Amino acid sequence: MRGLYCRQFGSLSDLSVQELADPLPRPGQVVVSVTTASVDYADTLIATGRYQIKVSPPFVPGNNFAGVVTHIGPDVTKVKVGDRVHGMALVGAFAEKLAVDQSQVRLTPSGLSDELACLTGSGYRTAYDALVSTARIRRGENLVVLGASGAVGGAAITIGKTLGARVIACASTQTKLDFCKQLGADVAIHYTTGDFKEALKRHCNGSADVVLDMVGGDYSEPALRATGYGGRFVVIGFAAGAVPRIPLNLVLLKGSIVTGYEIGAFERRQPDQAASNRAALEQMFLDGQLTPPVVARYSLDHAVEAIGAVASRDKLGLTTLQIATP
């Protein structure tokens, strides 16, 4: 098989598409012929050794995938050869074949394309879980999204609107703010234009109900200060690089609920809720309520270019690898 290969950590330009040995399924594993994979910012971090979960080289990058089961190992009961599936693997998806545990795949519903199936992965799953299960967003509430132009942020805008929230998107450039408005945000706020906290309060009619924070750094505390009594603040990531230190007196005085969401822990600790959320999210895609903004599609031969483009953040929207014909 062919796949994008990370021999050792370095720059993304050191990656290359190579001929690799076909994977063999171990007990409980399936081999998937990958048709489509999404290229996410987390993939760029994993491929350069900068992700919070370390993977030792050599390996094939790529997390979210869709395809067809070609082989099954002993003790596999969840799927069979020929089934269309999609899932998350952390690494391995940027190749023609992938071996994963059967717990890491879901059957792809009829009518859902492989591209849409792979895009129900980490970005949309994180946004849906964080909004529905962690923040428990309610119709009519003010939802503030930090890092709103990214993959999770963009998904949060569209899911939040679908669930009836009023979405206030926050980003760092006018181009990103325009993109958020295109996705359906009711209001778009620049972090550094004026008083960020006061702008949030003004556009939230006094107070925010829910904050989704993918950024951290200098923007977390003003966003927390903009919440009303009992506001829910969900920590998802630290794209700004710095982990903020929050004065706990704010939490005391506001009766705030500050909580975190990490997709792996949620899957392990709340498997029934995770499965229910996946089904609901897939139905939103099937019903056309969610239309992912795919802006670039690359072949496997151009995988290095694809992962480099995502790392540079030159394009707003989603990127996929089209690896094989379904």
Give the helix ranges, DSSP H, for 91-225.
114-119, 122-129, 151-162, 174-183, 196-203, 220-225
Model pLDDT, residue 59: 98
Q: Is 80 exceeded by the pLDDT of residue 103?
A: yes
Q: What percent of the chain has pLDDT over 90?
A: 91
**Residue-wise DSSP of 264-283:** HHHHHH-HHHHHHHHHHHHH
Choose among 18, 42, 8, 55: nearest CA to 310: 42
Specify the pairing of strand 166-171 against strand 142-146: parallel
- The pair of structure tokens assigned to 284 is 């939103």
Any idea what DSSP says for residue 51?
Answer: S
Please state the φ and ψ torsions of residue 34, each to the nearest 5 degrees: -80, 130
Using alpha carbons, list the distances in angstroms from residue 191 to 173, 214, 221, 235. 9, 14, 12, 18
- The pair of structure tokens assigned to 58 is 């050599």
CB 31 within 8 A of CB 70: yes
Helices (H) and strands (E) in the chain, counts: 11, 15
Q: Which phi-psi region, left, alpha or beta, contains residue 147 (left: φ > 0; alpha: ψ -120 to 50)?
A: left
CB 88 within 8 A of CB 121: yes
Model pLDDT, residue 53: 85
Model pLDDT, residue 47: 96
Give the lowest-confidence range in 177-181, 298-302, 311-315: 311-315
Q: Is 90 exceeded by the pLDDT of residue 193?
A: no
Q: Is 70 exceeded by the pLDDT of residue 326?
A: no
Cα–Cα distance measured from residue 116 to residue 111, given in angstroms and rounded to the nearest whole number: 10
Model pLDDT, residue 285: 96
Mean pLDDT, residues 170-180 taken together: 95
Per the listing, tokens 């969401």 go with 261
Mean pLDDT, residues 247-275 taken together: 94
Q: Is 90 exceeded by the pLDDT of residue 128?
A: yes
Q: Is 90 exceeded by the pLDDT of residue 134?
A: yes
Per the listing, tokens 């200098």 go with 218
Cα–Cα distance measured from residue 151 to residue 281, given in angstroms and rounded to the nearest whole number: 16
Mean pLDDT, residues 107-131 taken together: 95
Model pLDDT, residue 22: 97
- The rounded mean pLDDT for the chain is 95
Cα–Cα distance measured from residue 149 to residue 24, given in angstroms and rounded to the nearest whole number: 39
Model pLDDT, residue 51: 86
Model pLDDT, residue 324: 86
Model pLDDT, residue 247: 93
Helix (H) or strand (E) holding 146: strand 142-146
Mean pLDDT, residues 14-31 taken together: 97
Cα–Cα distance measured from residue 23 to residue 156, given in angstroms and rounded to the nearest whole number: 35
